[in-house]
Amino acid sequence: MYSNHSKSSYLELMLKTRTGLFLWLLGILLAAADVLVAAEVNVYSARKEALIKPLLDRFTKQTGIEVDLVTGKADALLSRLVSEGSNSPADLFITVDAGRLYRAKEAGVLQPISVPELETIVPAAYRDPEGYWYGLSLRARVIAYARERVDPADLSTYEDLADPKWKGKICIRSSDNIYNQSLVASLIAGNGEAATEQWAVGLVANMARRPVGGDRDQIKAVAAGQCDLAVVNTYYYGMMLNAEAGSPDHEAARKTALFWPNQQGRGAHVNVSGAGVTAHARHRENAVRLLLFLLGPDAQQWNSEANYEYPVREGVPISPTVAAWGPFKADTLNLERIGVDNRAAVMLMDRAGWK
Amino acid sequence: MTRLLQGLDLWRAGVLIVAVVLAVPVLTVIGFLLQPSGEVWEHLLATVLEGYVINSLLLVAGVGFGVLNLGVATAWVTSLCEFPGRRLFEWTLLLPMAMPAYIIGYTYTGLFDVAGPVQSSLRGWFGWHYGDYWFPQIRSMGGAIVMLSLVLFPYVYLFARAAFLGQSVCVLEVSRTLGYGPWRSFFSVALPLARPAVVAGMSLAMMEALADYGTVHYFGLSTLTTGIFRTWFGLGDVAAAAQLAALMLGVVFALVLLERGSRRRARYHHTSARYRRLPRYRLRTAPALSAFFVCFVPLFFGFLLPAVQLLVWGLQTAARMIDADFALLVFHSVMLAAGAALMVLLPALFLAYGKRLRPFRDVAVAVRIAAMGYAVPGIVIAVGVMIPLAWLDNTLDHWLRTSFGVSTGLLLSGTLFALLFAYLVRFLAVALQAVESGLGKIRPSMDEAGRSLGHRPLALLRRVHMPVMGGSVLTAQLLVFVDVLKELPATLVLRPFNFNTLAVRAFELASDERLADSSSAALAIVAAGIIPVVVLSRSIARSRPGHDETA
Amino acid sequence: MMKQLESKNLSVTLSGRPIVRDVSFKVPQGRTGCLLGPSGCGKTTLLRTIAGFELPEQGRLLIGGTEVSRSRWALVPERRRVGMVFQDFALFPNLCVRDNIGFGLKESPRSAREQRVNDMLRLVGLRDLAKVHPHQLSGGEQQRVALARALAPRPDILLLDEPFSSMDVDLREQLLGEVRTILHQEGITAIFVTHNQFEAFALADEIGVMSAGRLLQWNSGYNLYHHPKCRFVADFVGQGVFIQGTVLDRRGVATTFGIISGRTDNGFKPGEVVDVLIRPDDIVPDKNASIRARVVDRVFQGATFRYTLELNGTRVLCLAPSHYHYQIDEAIPIRLDSKHLVAFRREGAAPVDGSSTVMHQ
């Protein structure tokens, strides 16, 4: 058909045909793919989606980097990271407690990040000494007491909870829960294993009921009169206070108040929700950028207001609810210890009969 | 000219291979018994193991007792007495089967717990404080036993009913001529004759109770199932978790022996040869009223009350909870369940035909082994699936990497493959039973008749087998569909990330103390669960004495 | 077109055990043969081998002169033109009567198929039930459908496996007659299996008595009854007792009840003691007779009484018209009225060379 055209025109015509078009597009795509591949970061988060997604969306809007979020229980995620090995697609691993971050480090699924900015923003106690992970937000595990029945002057320390005067008056959740495990680990670090085991036995004797339910349940039990004291994370209390007026959560929170333990001593037990870059991250740079974003003033403030937590960054305004609880002295124990002693804590709780 | 084949055999080899593959999870778990016990196992042994075992056994025994009473009472009353509402109760007594145990656990906790509406109202009306009055603790071992009994008694109900109806009416009439009144006839004649069937039903219920995770976890009980979860994820020791699972299999094995033995004996207890309509004792007012309550109470507490509470919560939270995300969730769940149902059908057909075409002992044994999964708790299967698949993945990846420099990553573990495989292991029995009963309608003489009329075996498959078996195949699909939809422990562990099912969502929300929010997911599951109840109830309506009826 | 069936030295082994041993017989075109025997004798296996569902170990099967089975080889059932009616009828539950009957038809114009089905429906008298499904039919109707279905594709031979065993007596009687009519009318070569000799007598032209895998005698019902070749056949077919007798001379045997005449020259010596078969119809009440036997038992059978009589310590059966009404312990005059001499060498005694163990008239 084209026999009467010259060779060069033949080439021109090919470029105009469908084949040519297709080859063009392919070329463009390949060029673009390079850009596209670079502009993403994969996050494995034990933090619930609802609590973190808004921040991630904001990050994407600001930087154009797409965030692929995978949520699950921290242990399952960790298990997965370990078995995925170098094939893991994850870039950033976010947990809701320091113990799991430590475990992740021990399992070899994180890599150390040494960025000066990160080190200045996050206080030493709330990050891994070698830079494997960084805390993103802070929460305390405190005592909630029944306003009507308990005089705060009778409260003092965690250790005091084992005192027989509280017999049948304490509600606390199961030893299954990582927050309790971390609290016990911090006690082991502070008082030694033997003393802590004795304390745990005393605590179990003081329990009003076999551990059931979560932290919110404990607060509701205090409000209902089943017990007088509960040990809970601060943000749960915050959520309940800000629930719909008249709802059971709100009513229960109103009947209780928070007490900061160990203020004369080492301080209240705190824990962080934190993150670490994975050992085989393919988008390392983007992961670090995300870390920095989450530690930025805006993100820190949003988190405090939305989730009733304390920021790790200094000088960030906190939610009014949280502010109302007043300043407190926090345990300066390096949270790495919580991870180190986790398994010992679990076994200790088993031995003490803490279900 | 073709040969009649005998001997070397793709069918036989195929069936044996399938059985071995399906037995891998159980074999893996048992294999861990050979591993030396580590520090964690020693710790478990010293502290919580005894508690796990005792609690599991207590739960199983309690549920056994519960379902025995509820199941036998309702079965007797509906099969042999006449009272107002009997016809309705006949099939509605199956409705509790549509309720997964963990959902009924959440519902009752929400209703009856210390902070719940019932107790709060009581305290409000009477000015009581906690501790002034006694109220049963829902979240306790007793509560768990009650929950599980309420949703599992239909197993015993079905089996006992089949046994009672299958008894020759003559046997009961003979006992009357020998001077035994209706009550004595029941206890001395009917009940002992029905015992094997009742025990078979009880064993099934007890297996389900043993395997339960959602309810016991929510109620804060330490059983073998929660122990396995905690050891695996809490202490991070897969090997110790597998050893716990192996221990659990011991209990399962005992239950399976009990059930199999009873079923075999039940066959010989079928005393009727000809069908005769059973005369029903017409009850006078007072006995009729008690009969009505005997049936109404389990139905009310096992289905009606929780269903209504869920509906109320559902309506309250609908605006908030039913959104695009929920639709996606439903879509995922339905796709997964439908996919699993289809996937289970092929092996079921293969095994059923294999057993029929090659009636050899080793084939029959292989098929029984392949179908054992129904007795194995979901969490045990999850352990037994995860470990070999992860090993396979890593070995394959390593080999490919060293040979070709190509990394395949995780192909099997952590993908839907692992989950579907676990479903296959656990639910094959359900599909197999339905397919076998359908195949049973096609007698071998029909195959031979078709061949003598000039049709090749494959043509017979299309023209005779498929139409006749169609109904049973559909039933098999439905049953597997609903079972997968309700399944919790294995799904929790094996599901790919960001892949949630309705069961997982309900569990997570309830664990997060958002009971009302979990209701929409729970309602979806219950609604789906009603389908097999309807299917089963139709087979009940057509039941005839002497007709072989199973759950 | 119907063909002849021939079995030559057929032996069939199942699971290592020989079930059919060296069986030979022939069913000519258009005739009905029967395999009769107690359960476990191998008759059903033999039938299934004819159908092509089992392989012979040795021997041959020919249909219409063409070999269809031989040692370790058989033409598959779908390719043989053998129709079969099964004991449980094996009707396809998902198809109506019409579709069941038409299942084996492959004629191409649909009208030809429909015509054939209609012919079959008319043959078995089920035109009104053409659209009905099997589970709605009675036993007799199901059997007729099975028969029609087997005959529709015009097979070379028809096989029936215990076709009446699942029926009650009246239905059986009725169907026996109908089936016989159809078989003769259509000139069908048929062979059926049963343990019930009355069915065999009623339906078959020739009957083969089988025991432990062997075909003992292949003959008409009459000959089997009156000329059984071996003790088993004598026992199995009809009723009777063996009594002691002494060979008199070439022409008879003497018994307590009298002399029975018949040829005795096939190896039996005068004076030899033999077992003589006495059928119930061989003893007749005769008021002029000199012999009196005592009535030990009697069973009323409607048209006849079956008496058990005793004489000199020997017992026999006697079938008498029921207007001969005798009481127990009565001594009645009887006469031996046997036209057939059936005597066997005593058990354990060795046969003389070349002779048989039985003599016949």
Taking 80 as the threshold, does the pLDDT of residue A43 lie above it?
yes
Among the listed residues C183, C179, C154, the one whose alpha carbon sits nearest the alpha carbon of residue C82: C154
Read off the amino acid at residue B450.
G
The whole-number pLDDT of residue C348 equals 59
- A121 assigned to some structural domain: yes
ipTM above 0.90, yes or no: no
Predicted confidence (pLDDT) per residue in A258-282, tens digit = 999 999 999 999 999 999 999 989 8
Given a cut of 50, the residues of chain B with pLDDT beneath it are 1-7, 271-275, 544-551
Tokens 């074999």 belong to residue: B27
Do B498 and A70 make contact, defined as CB atoms within 8 angstroms?
yes
Do B1 and C78 make contact, defined as CB atoms within 8 angstroms?
no
Q: Are residues C244 and C321 in the same domain?
A: yes
| Nearest chain B residue to C149, by CA | B453
Tokens representing B504 are 């997982």
Pairing of strands B281-282, C32-36: unpaired
CA distances from C224 to B98, C194, C236, C281 (A): 68, 16, 10, 15
Q: Are residues C195 and C296 in the same domain?
A: no
Q: Are residues C42 and C171 in the same domain?
A: yes
CATH number reported for the structural domain that contains residue A320 in this entry: 3.40.190.10
CATH number reported for the structural domain that contains residue C35 in this entry: 3.40.50.300
- B129 assigned to some structural domain: no
* Residue range A8-13: mean pLDDT, rounded: 51
C16 touches chain B (CB under 8 A): no
Read off the amino acid at residue B162.
A
- A33 assigned to some structural domain: no
B464 touches chain C (CB under 8 A): yes
CB contacts of B410 in chain A (<8 Å) are 83-84, 87
Do B230 and A86 make contact, defined as CB atoms within 8 angstroms?
no
Query: Number of helices and strands (H, E) in chain B?
Result: 25, 2
Please report all neighbours of C, defined by 3+ CB atom pairs within 8 A. B
Query: Using the 8-state DSSP alphabet, how is residue B230 labeled?
Result: I
* Residue A66 burial class via C-beta count within 10 angstroms: exposed 0-12, middle 13-18, buried 19 and up: middle
Q: Are residues A225 and A344 in the same domain?
A: yes
Taking 90 as the threshold, does the pLDDT of residue A186 lie above it?
yes
Taking 60 as the threshold, does the pLDDT of residue C8 lie above it?
yes
Q: Any idea what the Cα angle at residue C351 is, between residues C349 and C354, rounded to 5°?
A: 180
Do B393 and A83 make contact, defined as CB atoms within 8 angstroms?
yes
Domain limits for position C169: 5-231
The whole-number pLDDT of residue B306 equals 93
B463 touches chain C (CB under 8 A): yes
Tokens 């209609």 belong to residue: C118
B111 touches chain C (CB under 8 A): no
Q: Any idea what the Cα angle at residue B359 is, between residues B358 and B363, rounded to 5°?
A: 75
Tokens representing C122 are 């008319």
DSSP H or E stretch at residue B31: helix B10-31
- B550 assigned to some structural domain: no
Structural contact between residues C39 and C162, judged by C-beta atoms closer than 8 angstroms: no
In a 3-state reduction of DSSP, which class is residue A55? helix
Q: Are residues C21 and C123 in the same domain?
A: yes
Q: Are residues A101 and A224 in the same domain?
A: no
Tokens 């006690």 belong to residue: A187
Q: Any idea what the Cα angle at residue B434 is, between residues B448 and B78, rounded to 5°?
A: 120
B456 touches chain C (CB under 8 A): yes
Q: Are residues A170 and A248 in the same domain?
A: yes
Instruction: Choose, out of C13, C14, C70, C76, the residue to mutate when testing the contact with B (most B CBs < 10 Å).
Output: C76
Structural contact between residues A189 and A349, judged by C-beta atoms closer than 8 angstroms: no
Query: Using the 8-state DSSP alphabet, how is residue A70 labeled?
Result: E
- Structural domain count of chain B: 2
Per-window interface: B 8-27 vs C, CB < 8 A: none
Instruction: Choose, out of B4, B357, B452, the residue to mutate when testing the contact with C (most C CBs < 10 Å).
Output: B452
Sheet order of strands, C32-36 included: C82-85, C157-161, C190-194, C32-36, C206-211, C214-219
Do B410 and A84 make contact, defined as CB atoms within 8 angstroms?
yes
Q: Are residues C220 and C124 in the same domain?
A: yes
Chains C and B touch (3+ CB pairs under 8 A): yes
- A76 assigned to some structural domain: yes
Q: Are residues B205 and B256 in the same domain?
A: yes
Do B129 and A103 make contact, defined as CB atoms within 8 angstroms?
no
Q: Are residues B92 and B240 in the same domain?
A: yes
Q: Are residues A93 and A240 in the same domain?
A: no
Among the listed residues A203, A242, A217, the one whose alpha carbon sits nearest the alpha carbon of residue A348: A203
Q: Are residues A219 and A183 in the same domain?
A: yes
- A331 assigned to some structural domain: no
In a 3-state reduction of DSSP, which class is residue B7? coil
Instruction: Choose, out of A47, A81, A169, A210, the residue to mutate when testing the contact with B (most B CBs < 10 Å).
Output: A210
Full-model pTM: 0.77
Tokens representing C173 are 């009687």
Q: Are residues B218 and B286 in the same domain?
A: yes
Predicted confidence (pLDDT) per residue in A209-233, tens digit = 989 888 999 999 999 888 999 999 9
Spatial neighbors of B405 by CB under 8 A, at least 6 apart, are none
* Residue B213 burial class via C-beta count within 10 angstroms: exposed 0-12, middle 13-18, buried 19 and up: buried
Q: Are residues C224 and C288 in the same domain?
A: no
- With cut-offs at 50, 70 and 90, classify the pLDDT of residue A168: very high
Query: Which residue, C214, C231, C248, sits at the end of a domain?
Result: C231
Number of Cβ pairs closer than 8 Å across B and C? Answer: 74
Domain limits for position B475: 322-500
CB contacts of A75 in chain B (<8 Å) are 232-234, 236
- Structural domain count of chain C: 2
- Structural domain count of chain A: 2
The whole-number pLDDT of residue B540 equals 62
Q: Are residues B343 and B403 in the same domain?
A: yes
- CA-to-CA distance for B202 and B156, rounded, in angstroms? 6
Which position has the higher pLDDT, B550 or A190? A190
Predicted confidence (pLDDT) per residue in B491-501, tens digit = 988 887 778 88
Query: Which residue, B500, B522, B540, sits at the end of a domain?
Result: B500
**DSSP secondary structure, B256-318, as one string:** HHHHHHHHHHHHHT---SS--PPPPEEP-HHHHHHHHHHHHHHHIIIIIHHHHHHHHHHHHHH
Predicted confidence (pLDDT) per residue in C199-247, tens digit = 999 999 999 999 999 999 999 999 999 888 888 999 899 888 888 888 8
Query: Which residue, C231, C247, C269, sits at the end of a domain?
Result: C231
- CA-to-CA distance for B218 and A212, rounded, in angstroms? 7
Domain limits for position A297: 40-138+275-324
| Nearest chain B residue to C51, by CA | B452
| Nearest chain A residue to B233, by CA | A75
| Nearest chain A residue to B408, by CA | A87
Q: Are residues A117 and A169 in the same domain?
A: no
Q: Are residues C200 and C270 in the same domain?
A: no
C158 touches chain B (CB under 8 A): no
Structural contact between residues A81 and A44, judged by C-beta atoms closer than 8 angstroms: yes
Number of Cβ pairs closer than 8 Å across A and B? Answer: 93
Q: Are residues C205 and C246 in the same domain?
A: no
Do A75 and B511 make contact, defined as CB atoms within 8 angstroms?
no
Instruction: Choose, out of C50, C54, C70, C86, the residue to mutate when testing the contact with B (most B CBs < 10 Å).
Output: C86
Q: Are residues C247 and C341 in the same domain?
A: yes
Tokens representing A69 are 């979020």
Do C92 and B453 make contact, defined as CB atoms within 8 angstroms?
no
Tokens representing C333 are 């005059």
Query: Can you name the residues that pair with A330 across neighbouring β-strands?
Result: A268
Which residue from C55, C153, C159 is facing B453, i.e. has the nearest CB? C153
Taking 80 as the threshold, does the pLDDT of residue A83 lie above it?
no
Q: Are residues A91 and A182 in the same domain?
A: no
- CA-to-CA distance for A14 and B480, rounded, in angstroms? 56
**Over chain C, what is the mean pLDDT?**
87
Taking 70 as the threshold, does the pLDDT of residue C37 lie above it?
yes
Q: Are residues B217 and B267 in the same domain?
A: yes
Q: Are residues B193 and B89 in the same domain?
A: yes
Q: Are residues C127 and C202 in the same domain?
A: yes
CATH number reported for the structural domain that contains residue B477 in this entry: 1.10.3720.10
Tokens representing B204 are 């099934």
Q: Are residues C271 and C214 in the same domain?
A: no
Q: Are residues C151 and C266 in the same domain?
A: no
- A31 assigned to some structural domain: no
- A29 assigned to some structural domain: no
Which residue from B130, B218, B393 is facing A224, i.e. has the nearest CB? B130
Among the listed residues B488, B478, B481, the one whose alpha carbon sits nearest the alpha carbon of residue B212: B488
Do B448 and C104 make contact, defined as CB atoms within 8 angstroms?
no
C-alpha distance from A13 to closest chain B C-alpha (Å): 40
Backbone φ and ψ of B306, nearest 5°? -60, -35
Q: Are residues B236 and B353 in the same domain?
A: no
B3 touches chain C (CB under 8 A): yes
| Nearest chain B residue to C82, by CA | B452
Q: Are residues A88 and A144 in the same domain?
A: no
- A77 assigned to some structural domain: yes
Taking 90 as the threshold, does the pLDDT of residue A188 lie above it?
yes
The whole-number pLDDT of residue A50 equals 79
A276 touches chain B (CB under 8 A): no
The whole-number pLDDT of residue B276 equals 54
Read off the amino acid at residue B65.
F
Instruction: Choose, out of C81, C92, C101, the residue to mutate when testing the contact with B (most B CBs < 10 Å).
Output: C92
Measured in whole angstroms, how far is the alpha carbon of residue A334 from the centre of its chain? 16
C83 touches chain B (CB under 8 A): yes
Do B410 and A248 make contact, defined as CB atoms within 8 angstroms?
no
Query: Which residue, C231, C248, C277, sits at the end of a domain?
Result: C231
Query: Using the 8-state DSSP alphabet, how is residue C94 labeled?
Result: T
For residue B272, the tally of other CB atoms under 10 A from its CB is: 18
C-alpha distance from B237 to closest chain A C-alpha (Å): 10
Which residue from C51, C74, C93 is facing B452, i.e. has the nearest CB? C51
Structural contact between residues A341 and A188, judged by C-beta atoms closer than 8 angstroms: yes
Structural contact between residues B130 and A224, judged by C-beta atoms closer than 8 angstroms: yes
Burial letters B145-169, b for 16+ CB under 10 A, else e: bbbbbbbbbbbbbbbbbbbbbbbbb
Q: Are residues A206 and A342 in the same domain?
A: yes
Sign of CA dihedral A264, A265, A268, A272: positive
Q: Are residues B277 and B417 in the same domain?
A: no
- CA-to-CA distance for C165 and C142, rounded, in angstroms? 13
Chains A and C touch (3+ CB pairs under 8 A): no
CB contacts of B408 in chain A (<8 Å) are 87
Q: Are residues B372 and B225 in the same domain?
A: no
The whole-number pLDDT of residue A34 equals 39
Query: Which residue, B270, B302, B334, sits at the end of a domain?
Result: B302
